[in-house]
């Protein structure tokens, strides 16, 4: 291994080059995304969720896999990936820095199967709020974050429209956390494409106060099937028409119909063509790797990647696009008027009045007033107990009614707090008799440390800052603002390490 002065220069030269080219944040203005230099940003993306470890799904924690795949992202001319699930217990620096060095941004879903709003039985509570807060704090430090998806296809047909009230409240609160920490990253929604609900769903996420609205609207769309399809028979024309006066950016958060066999991706020319780029901001193909549902552009086997015919077709279509857009300085959105909230009806059961921000302090406080509580947190008779008690007395404080927009003061506490509130209220109504706190042995009397919950009702939490839950070494955990110069420095440091590695290997 001969030491060479010119190679050292090369290594240092590339360090300087990368430092000068450090990725800049993309921002939203009106209905469009912009690079720092004022050029409009169109998403050229894929959805990225290769599953290496089913018990710990997190492609951004796999530095080697991520670097392997970036080579393919470059072939596809990508500037963004959407990742559905990562774990807050992992470190993501290596992958995020490698993506940044390749000019690729991240759109990240906040929810996971464990921490999400269940469309069939929607609840938004302290547990989900705290999880979301940790997630956005952990990722907002990366300069190549593009935004957060605060819900994916939660309301997906007319039977579960009320779930959107909880999703919108969650989005509002994640926006609040970012704003409090002075991070300007958008939090939006990704919708399915269901003709029964599209109109109301689109309006709902874009209506009301600016602080309550989704910052962007993604559509998971599978209408363009086969290479003979056209702009009008795919229905893209109608989708476009729905959004011409929409107040926030719109893009395809998933696209790529597979029902007509090998995908030719002729829709790419439509998505990045003038007709659509006036209104929309590009899209992401579902999905990078084959995961058993035939949507993969590549097949991953161990550490090797095999591209498919779909991949080659997408690559040649992506090579042809050149969306023009507008420059930020010449773009003065006439207004960002909110949409009108849909009327609550049988077909749309989510009021414009959203659930409150969950408050751990209020829930902790009311817990101190309980006189009767479950013996075990995971008692399976909770539903039955609540049904019994709330059939006999008013459970307003723990109830939530998205149809009428009424939410009890403890309705965002976790399930244990809610059932203990009911048990205690019931026991109290029976003068705390022993029989009133039994429920076939599920409940037992407990000692309250306070006998009034009056002061609990107005308790709100302070928003956590920084990313104390992060295992990352490049973050400052105590600062109250998430400062972008910290990761920029970290990125520089990692490039330096990479350069030294290169130089050592020569
Ligand atoms: C602005 O920045 C982007 C991303 O670095 C780049 O692709 C584009 O060419 C730049 N535009 C101008 C006008 O320099
Ligand atoms: C539910 O919330 C209470 C009080 O806020 C807390 O003490 C308890 O640990 C929580 N339980 C679960 C299972 O998260
Ligand atoms: C949401 O709507 C469904 C269907 O109408 C209903 O069964 C469910 O109880 C509602 N959930 C809430 C929290 O109101
Ligand atoms: C909404 O409130 C009204 C009046 O209190 C009540 O009659 C109705 O049942 C509520 N609707 C739902 C769906 O809970
Ligand atoms: C107690 O158990 C009996 C028999 O399993 C059941 O029918 C009843 O509903 C239970 N009572 C309560 C209050 O949970």
Residues in the chain: 506
- CB-defined site of ligand 1, < 6 Å: 35, 37, 39
What does the pLDDT average to over 441-463?
Answer: 94
Q: How many CA atoms lie within 13 A of 22 on its CB side?
A: 20
> How far apart are alpha carbons 115 and 130 in whole angstroms?
10
Average pLDDT over the chain, rounded to an integer: 89
pTM: 0.89
User: Considering only CA atoms, which of 344, 338, 337 is closest in space to residue 165?
Assistant: 344
Q: Give the pLDDT confidence score for residue 13 in this predicted structure.
A: 41
> How far apart are alpha carbons 93 and 487 in whole angstroms?
9
Q: Which of 18, 20, 35, 322 to mutate to test the pocket of ligand 1 (most atoms within 8 A of CB)?
A: 35
What does the pLDDT average to over 355-362?
Answer: 97
Q: Give the pLDDT confidence score for residue 335 in this predicted structure.
A: 63
**155-206 confidence digits (pLDDT tens):** 999 999 999 999 999 999 999 999 999 999 999 999 999 999 999 999 999 9
User: Considering only CA atoms, which of 414, 430, 325 is closest in space to residue 366?
Assistant: 414
Q: In the predicted model, is pLDDT for residue 503 greater than 50?
A: no
**463-475 confidence digits (pLDDT tens):** 877 644 433 333 3
401: β partners: 406
Residues noted as catalytic: 153, 254
For ligand 2, say whether the CB of 368 is within 6 Å of any of its atoms. Answer: no
What does the pLDDT average to over 114-132?
Answer: 97
Which tops the pLDDT comparison, 258 or 6? 258
Cis peptide before 287 (omega within 30 of 0): yes
> How far apart are alpha carbons 452 and 450 in whole angstroms?
6
Q: Which of 415, 417, 420 to mutate to test the pocket of ligand 2 (most atoms within 8 A of CB)?
A: 417
Q: In this structure, which residue's CA is closest to atom 3 in ligand 4?
A: 404
> How far apart are alpha carbons 145 and 506 in whole angstroms?
34
Q: In the predicted model, is pLDDT for residue 93 greater than 70?
A: yes
**303-315 confidence digits (pLDDT tens):** 999 999 999 999 9
**241-279 confidence digits (pLDDT tens):** 999 999 999 999 999 999 999 999 999 999 999 999 999
Q: In the predicted model, is pLDDT for residue 217 greater than 60?
A: yes
Q: Give the pLDDT confidence score for residue 486 in this predicted structure.
A: 27
> How far apart are alpha carbons 452 and 321 in whole angstroms?
65
């Amino acid at each position: 291994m001969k030491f060479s002065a010119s190679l050292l220069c090369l290594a240092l030269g590339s360090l300087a080059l990368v430092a000068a080219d450090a990725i800049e944040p993309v921002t939203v203005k009106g209905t469009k995304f912009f690079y720092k230099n004022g050029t409009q940003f169109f998403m050229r993306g894929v959805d990225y969720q290769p599953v290496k470890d089913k018990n710990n799904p997190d492609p951004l924690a796999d530095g080697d896999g991520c670097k392997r795949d970036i080579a393919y992202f470059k072939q596809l001319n990508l500037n963004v990936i959407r990742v559905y699930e990562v774990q807050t217990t992992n470190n993501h620096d290596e992958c995020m820095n490698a993506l940044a060095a390749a000019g690729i941004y991240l759109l990240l879903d906040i929810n996971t199967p464990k921490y999400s709003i269940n469309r069939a039985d929607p609840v938004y509570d302290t547990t989900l709020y705290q999880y979301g807060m940790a997630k956005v704090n952990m990722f907002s430090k990366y300069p190549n974050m593009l935004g957060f998806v605060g819900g994916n296809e939660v309301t997906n047909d007319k039977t579960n429209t009320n779930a959107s009230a909880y999703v919108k409240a969650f989005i509002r609160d994640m926006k609040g956390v970012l704003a409090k920490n002075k991070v300007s990253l958008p939090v939006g929604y990704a919708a399915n494409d269901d003709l029964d609900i599209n109109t109301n769903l689109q309006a709902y996420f874009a209506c009301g106060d600016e602080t309550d609205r989704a910052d962007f609207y993604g559509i998971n769309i599978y209408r363009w099937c086969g290479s003979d399809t056209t702009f009008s028979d795919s229905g893209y024309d109608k989708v476009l028409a729905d959004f011409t006066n929409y107040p926030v950016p719109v893009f395809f958060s998933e696209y790529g119909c597979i029902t007509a066999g090998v995908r030719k991706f002729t829709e790419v020319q439509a998505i990045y063509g003038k007709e659509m780029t006036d209104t929309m901001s590009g899209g992401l193909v579902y999905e990078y790797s084959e995961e058993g549902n035939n949507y993969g552009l590549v097949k991953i086997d161990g550490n090797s990647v095999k591209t498919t015919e779909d991949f080659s077709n997408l690559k040649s279509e992506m090579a042809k696009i050149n969306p023009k857009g507008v420059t930020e300085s010449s773009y003065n959105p006439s207004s960002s008027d909110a949409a009108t909230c849909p009327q609550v009806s049988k077909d749309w059961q989510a009021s414009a009045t959203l659930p409150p921000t969950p408050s751990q302090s209020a829930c902790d406080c009311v817990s101190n007033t309980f006189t009767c509580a479950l013996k075990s947190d995971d008692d399976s008779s909770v539903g039955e107990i609540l049904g019994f008690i709330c059939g006999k007395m008013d459970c307003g404080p723990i109830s939530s009614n998205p149809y009428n927009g009424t939410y009890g003061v403890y309705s965002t506490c976790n399930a244990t707090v809610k059932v203990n509130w009911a048990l205690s209220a019931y026991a109290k109504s029976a003068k705390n008799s022993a029989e009133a706190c039994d429920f076939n042995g599920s409940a037992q009397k407990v000692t309250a440390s306070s006998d009034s919950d009056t002061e609990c009702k107005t308790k709100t939490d302070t928003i956590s800052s920084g990313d104390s839950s992060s295992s990352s070494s490049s973050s400052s955990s105590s600062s109250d603002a998430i400062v972008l110069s910290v990761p920029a420095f970290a990125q520089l440091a990692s490039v330096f390490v990479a350069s030294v590695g290169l130089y050592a290997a020569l």
